[in-house]
Chains A and B, each alone.
Chain A
Amino acid sequence: MATTTNATPWLAAFRLRAMIVTGLVMFVFITMHLANLALGLISVQVMEDWRWALSGVWSSILPLKILLQVSLILHFLLALLSLYWRNTLRVPAYDMAQMIAGILIIPLLAKHVFGVMAAKEIGLEPTYALVLGQFWVVSPFDGLQQVVMLVVAWIHGAIGVYTWLQSRDGSTRIMRFFYPFVVALPTLAMLGYVEAGRQIIPVSEGGMGFVLTTDPNAAGPTAAPEAIQAIIDKANDSQKFATRLSLGFIALAFLARWLRLRSLKKGVAQVTYRGARTETFEAEAGLTLLEAARNNNLPHASVCRGRGRCGTCRVTVFAGAENLAPPTDMEAKVLAHWNAGPNERLACQIKPTGGALEVERVIEPDYSNLDYSEKRRPLEQSEGTV
């Protein structure tokens, strides 16, 4: 992930925090939404009964609605920023999945959001019977799109929360609950979606199936028939606009990133890793040590995958420390947290610019010597080590 050594420190700290907070808000939203879908395993009626509590609150209570919208926009903009700061696109699989999923979310989401909004405008309550009928019978392609969206959004969010949780203290206990949750919820939601579809589909094919006991839409749309088409067109236009806007911004971020990388001066640093098998490779300037190591297929422990949060990518610098920029506040904080030695640095934060650098991984790549008890020793011991 991007390093922010050359950005203002408060911005970097704010960015990280805001990213997490906005992401968590949306994760809670998706969780509730999926929980609602999962109820389809029982019946569409139960889904409908719980609709307001699990999904409706986000659109009918104004503060929540604003919170969700602000979170979405802020998260998107911050993501653009971190895209801009990315040094290389050869990233670990989780990061790549998260990035691609993130890019796909808005184009996939737009149709559902604007569709539901249009339905309300027309005067139809977006009941599950209505929406599921739309997705399974009227335009199954949209249904497929929604399944993809669900998966994509969940993967994006789950990776984010997973990374955040893992680099926190005492994560092992939380992870015990997180792991089953993160698989069970979308699985149940999708099965609920399938089961609800199996109840809905026969109705449209003239067979026996599920019908709501009290359908608020029984009376049909309240809007004038001639206005309906206009509303639908407007929704389509907004959806297309939102898609293009988001993709345009992403393209701009990539362009800006490309320009930034082009202006960097080229250089090569000789990096030597000590260990059971000593390895030497050449690191391109502009990449962090962690990224350079990954490019050269050198395994490296890194729980947060280069976000500078977890401190597991620490290296002991034996030679070439003078070519490295001093630690930023954020890095110093993490190092102090781990009670790190004076010549230890975070591989995801240092950028070898030239000359020779000789380092050794503090944590083995297989995490065999990762000991969380080293973290947060009494302050009087760790003071002065950084």
Chain B
Amino acid sequence: MGWLRIALSVLVLSGFAATAHAQFVPSSGSSQSAVVPDPSPNDVKEFLRLLGDPTIQTWISESANSDGTLDAGPALTLREQVDAQLERIATRARSLVLAWEVLPQMPAVLADVWNTELSNGQKVRTVTYILIFLLIGFGVEWLYRQLLRYPLLRLEQSPKDAPSEKLLGASIRAAIIFAGLGIFAIGSIGAFDSFDWHPLLESVVLDLLVAVLMFRILITISLFFQAPRAPELRLVPYGTEAAMFLHRLVCILSFAVVLAFAMSFLLNRVVEQHGMDIDSSLATVALAQTIVLALFVVLVVWACIWVAFKRIPSMCDLQTPPKTVLLWRNFLLILTGVVFALWLAGLFALMWAVLVIGLTVPGLKLLRGWIDHFFDQSTAALHSQHMEEAQKALDEFAAAEGASETLEGEPQPNVPEFADPYVATRPIVQRAARFVFIMTAVLTLSNAWGVNIFDLSSDRSFVGRALEVLIDSIVALLLADLVWTWAKTVIDKRIADYEPPVDGQAPGPEARMITLLPLLRTILMVTLLIMVVLSVLSASGVNIAPILAGAGIVGIAIGFGTQSLVRDIVAGIFFLIDDAFRLGEYIEVGDLMGTVESISVRSMRIRHHRGKVHTVPYGELKSLTNHSRDWVIMKLEFRVPFDTDLQLVKKLVKKVGAELQANEHYGQSILSTLKSQGVRRMEEFNMVVGVKFMTKPGEQWLVRRDAYQKVRDVFEANGIRMAERNVKVEIDGGEHLTEDQRAAVAGAAQEAAGAPTGPPKPIPDEP
């Protein structure tokens, strides 16, 4: 619904601009009771000659102060200023009364001037010339348009969903049309200028040609946004009917405004040409006709607002309650009226203030709505595209299922979730647009008040100071807001996007940032807040150096006190950035081992596999071993007798490796399955056959268990014995020993070989 308002305020804005600009014409006439003409080329030459004159240069440098500024005269007190203002209003009122009295005679006076200045023939000739040169311009432009006819048609007709495409298309189209306007201007004004003319005739014809050009430029701008004939390129969210209607309104309004300006310029030129000794009656006539033209524009603006608010709600089925619509309509109507009244009263600065502030409120709302619409459309376009893809995936899945070709591992169709890519961009664009809008408003305002905000620091008056503080604070706030919104949306989005790992799975690299982001956000907020407060304070003249110094001292003191804390935090940040460990990984720090259970700002918590929890501050970490990265190699050994067939062993191990790989539970985790490495070394009584395998971290224990078991079984089945520790006693003539003697010998031999003594050494832990 905000859409309607955008269009309306565009209408109103152009109307206001006209009314407002028109002030310049009478202001010169009324306040000095004389119409001041623009300098003629001769005047300018004379001025330049004077500037070059050494005597004038000396005079200027003498009248300047030592610091190069001109004497500004004594500063006025507030009371004098008020008096001067009241005096100005009174003068204005008097000239208005005069103009009112002159009004009935105005047509006669103007006609008189018009007749005496231009002969009958000249007048008609003027029109003839205007017509001819306009037609030449149109002809050349038509040729150009014919040249680009098909590309333009293609641009307008090809379907576009995403607003970015629309914006691009509309911009290209606007560029084409503006180039056409340029050609029109060259064709008409250029052709006209290539002849020599009577000066008055020239200025009049030129004014009117420029007026036609201005009118067409305004219409092209409306075309750019509304594109009544090319719905594919429309940037505003309403239908063809409403677009055509509003475009027509814009045309009417532009016509009224341009006509008023052209008339005002034309009549003023004629009046100015008429009497070099301008008498006050002519000035009054000029004022009167300017008022009439301004009134005409205001009436047209009122009519347009009225009609637009009446017709539009039914055209684009607004959701807004009719009361709100009425409220906005009345607001705009009253605003127009107030601006006109202020203009009449000659309070131009106040008029600009009312105008700019009055339009900023609806303007900001419209801007917001427009950008929202833009992003909504973008998201909708992406969403529909995504839905199509998802539907395709579902269809394929259904087809595959129908043909019973579904793989067992894929019980569900693989449909990705829809993610809106503009979540982060939208608020930033909103803020940036708002920033630009408000800055434009402020600049317009200060321009209208005759204050150059870039020169404010040299202005020591109270108003100047207040304005400077205000503008500086607004800029600081808006910039801080822009940065804060951007950072906040980015951080929040990353946090929201984070999915905690499913039990048993190693967390992704996002996990480490999740701990850091909230901290970063807080730091950023505090920093921005402090910066804004400081810059506002500094702008308002408070000396912030002591605050900064104090903050510095406190900072140093706290820094010393919390040295180790700071060290922990900073070291932690770098460990996290290095990606040394993640939540859920099995690590070894010094002589501590365990799974990383939680990561905080200062320390981390490691849980030993037997349940002990270690808390380790980052500052204490020198080096860190991570057991959960990428892959693990495990080597196993088997002792077999010297007479074992190594070829067979190799074959058997290979077979076991294949079996392990085929296992449904951990087969996936085996990166390189069990294989024999041959004889690793010879020992006293046996050979050591080495085997190894590679798995994902954490899976090696299970695989090892099965590998041992399977290898043992398969060796046994194939008659390969594991070597056992045994002692062979050879006794010369031992075949004569009795059973008792044999037993005694065996016992002695066993003793000699040395049976293991004491409890066995504990095997190192493993989780």
**A interacts with B:** yes
Binding site for B on A (CB under 8 A): 136-137, 140-141, 143-144, 147-148, 151, 179-180, 183, 186-187, 190-191, 193-194, 197-198, 201, 276-277, 297, 299, 364-368
Question: When the two chains form their complex, are residues A194 and B143 in contact, meaning their CB atoms are under 8 A apart?
Answer: no
Question: When the two chains form their complex, are residues A136 and B125 in contact, meaning their CB atoms are under 8 A apart?
Answer: yes
Chain A residues within an 8 Å CB radius of B158: 366, 368
B140 within 8 A of A: yes
Question: When the two chains form their complex, are residues A183 and B142 in contact, meaning their CB atoms are under 8 A apart?
Answer: yes
Q: Min CB distance, B239 to chain A, in Å? A: 10
For B123-154 the 0/1 string (1 means CB < 8 A from A) is: 11101110110011001101100110010011
Cα-based distance from A141 to B231 in the complex (angstroms): 44
Besides A140-B120, A194-B129, 10 other A-B contacts (C-beta < 8 A):
A137-B121, A140-B124, A143-B128, A179-B147, A191-B136, A197-B125, A366-B154, A366-B157, A367-B150, A367-B153
Contact of B121 among A136, A179, A193 (CB under 8 A): A136
Contact of A366 among B131, B142, B150, B195 (CB under 8 A): B150
- Which of B125, B142, B147, B156 gathers the greatest number of chain A CB atoms within 10 Å? B125
Chain B residues within an 8 Å CB radius of A190: 132, 135-136
Cα-based distance from A368 to B240 in the complex (angstroms): 24
B559 within 8 A of A: no
Question: When the two chains form their complex, are residues B153 and A140 in contact, meaning their CB atoms are under 8 A apart?
Answer: no
Question: When the two chains form their complex, are residues B136 and A143 in contact, meaning their CB atoms are under 8 A apart?
Answer: no
Cα-based distance from A297 to B124 in the complex (angstroms): 41
- Which of A141, A194, A277 gathers the greatest number of chain B CB atoms within 10 Å? A194
B624 within 8 A of A: no
Cα-based distance from A191 to B192 in the complex (angstroms): 10
B191 within 8 A of A: yes
Binding site for A on B (CB under 8 A): 120-121, 123-125, 127-129, 131-132, 135-136, 139-140, 142-143, 146-147, 150, 153-154, 156-159, 191, 195, 229, 231, 240
Q: Min CB distance, B143 to chain A, in Å? A: 5
Cα-based distance from A180 to B139 in the complex (angstroms): 10
Chain A residues within an 8 Å CB radius of B139: 183, 186-187
Chain A residues within an 8 Å CB radius of B154: 366-368
Question: When the two chains form their complex, are residues B159 and A147 in contact, meaning their CB atoms are under 8 A apart?
Answer: no
Cα-based distance from A196 to B582 in the complex (angstroms): 91
Chain B residues within an 8 Å CB radius of A140: 120-121, 123-125, 128
Question: When the two chains form their complex, are residues A179 and B132 in contact, meaning their CB atoms are under 8 A apart?
Answer: no
Beyond A140-B124, A297-B240, A366-B154, whether A147 also contacts B136 by CB under 8 A is no
Question: When the two chains form their complex, are residues B136 and A187 in contact, meaning their CB atoms are under 8 A apart?
Answer: yes
Question: When the two chains form their complex, are residues B159 and A144 in contact, meaning their CB atoms are under 8 A apart?
Answer: no
Chain B residues within an 8 Å CB radius of A366: 150, 153-154, 156-158
Beyond A187-B136, A190-B135, whether A141 also contacts B150 by CB under 8 A is no
Sampled A-B contacts (27; CB under 8 Å): A140-B120, A140-B123, A141-B124, A144-B124, A144-B127, A144-B128, A147-B131, A147-B132, A179-B143, A179-B147, A180-B143, A183-B139, A186-B139, A187-B136, A187-B140, A194-B129, A194-B132, A197-B125, A198-B195, A201-B121, A276-B159, A297-B229, A299-B157, A364-B157, A366-B150, A366-B157, A366-B158
Which 3 A-B pairs have CB atoms at the shortest separation, nearest pair first? Answer: A140-B124, A366-B157, A183-B139
Chain A residues within an 8 Å CB radius of B156: 299, 366
Cα-based distance from A368 to B143 in the complex (angstroms): 21
Cα-based distance from A37 to B157 in the complex (angstroms): 42
Cα-based distance from A34 to B150 in the complex (angstroms): 30
Q: Min CB distance, B703 to chain A, in Å? A: 58
Chain A residues within an 8 Å CB radius of B121: 136-137, 140, 201
Cα-based distance from A187 to B140 in the complex (angstroms): 9
Cα-based distance from A311 to B123 in the complex (angstroms): 49
Q: Min CB distance, A261 to chain B, in Å? A: 24
Cα-based distance from A140 to B121 in the complex (angstroms): 6
Chain A residues within an 8 Å CB radius of B229: 297
Closest partner residue, chain B, to A190 (CB atom): B132
Q: Min CB distance, A132 to chain B, in Å? A: 12
Cα-based distance from A81 to B396 in the complex (angstroms): 61
Question: When the two chains form their complex, are residues A148 and B131 in contact, meaning their CB atoms are under 8 A apart?
Answer: yes
Chain B residues within an 8 Å CB radius of A198: 195
Question: When the two chains form their complex, are residues A144 and B131 in contact, meaning their CB atoms are under 8 A apart?
Answer: yes
Closest partner residue, chain A, to B121 (CB atom): A140
Closest partner residue, chain B, to A137 (CB atom): B121
Q: Min CB distance, B30 to chain A, in Å? A: 37
Beyond A180-B143, A299-B157, A366-B153, whether A191 also contacts B191 by CB under 8 A is yes
Cα-based distance from A183 to B146 in the complex (angstroms): 11
Chain B residues within an 8 Å CB radius of A151: 131, 135
Contact of A186 among B120, B123, B124, B135 (CB under 8 A): B135
Cα-based distance from A24 to B142 in the complex (angstroms): 22
Cα-based distance from A141 to B191 in the complex (angstroms): 23
Q: Min CB distance, A345 to chain B, in Å? A: 22
Closest partner residue, chain A, to B243 (CB atom): A297
Chain B residues within an 8 Å CB radius of A201: 121
Chain B residues within an 8 Å CB radius of A147: 128, 131-132
Chain B residues within an 8 Å CB radius of A187: 135-136, 139-140
Q: Min CB distance, A381 to chain B, in Å? A: 28
Cα-based distance from A197 to B125 in the complex (angstroms): 10
Cα-based distance from A375 to B494 in the complex (angstroms): 60
Q: Min CB distance, A219 to chain B, in Å? A: 27
Q: Min CB distance, B555 to chain A, in Å? A: 64
Q: Min CB distance, A223 to chain B, in Å? A: 27
Contact of A365 among B127, B153, B195 (CB under 8 A): B153
Q: Min CB distance, A236 to chain B, in Å? A: 20
Chain B residues within an 8 Å CB radius of A186: 135, 139
- Which of A141, A147, A190 gathers the greatest number of chain B CB atoms within 10 Å? A190
Question: When the two chains form their complex, are residues A183 and B143 in contact, meaning their CB atoms are under 8 A apart?
Answer: yes
Question: When the two chains form their complex, are residues A183 and B191 in contact, meaning their CB atoms are under 8 A apart?
Answer: no
Chain B residues within an 8 Å CB radius of A367: 150, 153-154
Chain B residues within an 8 Å CB radius of A277: 159
- Which of A143, A151, A187 gathers the greatest number of chain B CB atoms within 10 Å? A187
Cα-based distance from A186 to B157 in the complex (angstroms): 33
Question: When the two chains form their complex, are residues B150 and A193 in contact, meaning their CB atoms are under 8 A apart?
Answer: no
Closest partner residue, chain B, to A142 (CB atom): B124
Chain B residues within an 8 Å CB radius of A365: 153, 157
Chain B residues within an 8 Å CB radius of A191: 132, 136, 191
Closest partner residue, chain A, to B228 (CB atom): A297
Q: Min CB distance, B192 to chain A, in Å? A: 10
Q: Min CB distance, A362 to chain B, in Å? A: 15
Cα-based distance from A276 to B132 in the complex (angstroms): 44
Closest partner residue, chain A, to B136 (CB atom): A187
Closest partner residue, chain A, to B135 (CB atom): A151
Closest partner residue, chain A, to B232 (CB atom): A277
Cα-based distance from A314 to B299 in the complex (angstroms): 49
Chain A residues within an 8 Å CB radius of B150: 366-367
Cα-based distance from A299 to B152 in the complex (angstroms): 14
Chain A residues within an 8 Å CB radius of B136: 187, 190-191
Chain B residues within an 8 Å CB radius of A141: 124
Q: Min CB distance, B370 to chain A, in Å? A: 23
Cα-based distance from A297 to B120 in the complex (angstroms): 47
Closest partner residue, chain B, to A141 (CB atom): B124
Closest partner residue, chain A, to B192 (CB atom): A194
Q: Min CB distance, B139 to chain A, in Å? A: 4
Q: Min CB distance, B138 to chain A, in Å? A: 9
Cα-based distance from A147 to B132 in the complex (angstroms): 8
Closest partner residue, chain B, to A299 (CB atom): B157
Chain B residues within an 8 Å CB radius of A136: 121, 125
Chain A residues within an 8 Å CB radius of B153: 365-367
Cα-based distance from A154 to B121 in the complex (angstroms): 25
Chain A residues within an 8 Å CB radius of B231: 297
Chain A residues within an 8 Å CB radius of B146: 179
Chain A residues within an 8 Å CB radius of B143: 179-180, 183
Q: Min CB distance, B153 to chain A, in Å? A: 4
Q: Min CB distance, A357 to chain B, in Å? A: 22
Q: Min CB distance, B25 to chain A, in Å? A: 29
Cα-based distance from A276 to B150 in the complex (angstroms): 19
Cα-based distance from A187 to B159 in the complex (angstroms): 39
Chain A residues within an 8 Å CB radius of B128: 140, 143-144, 147
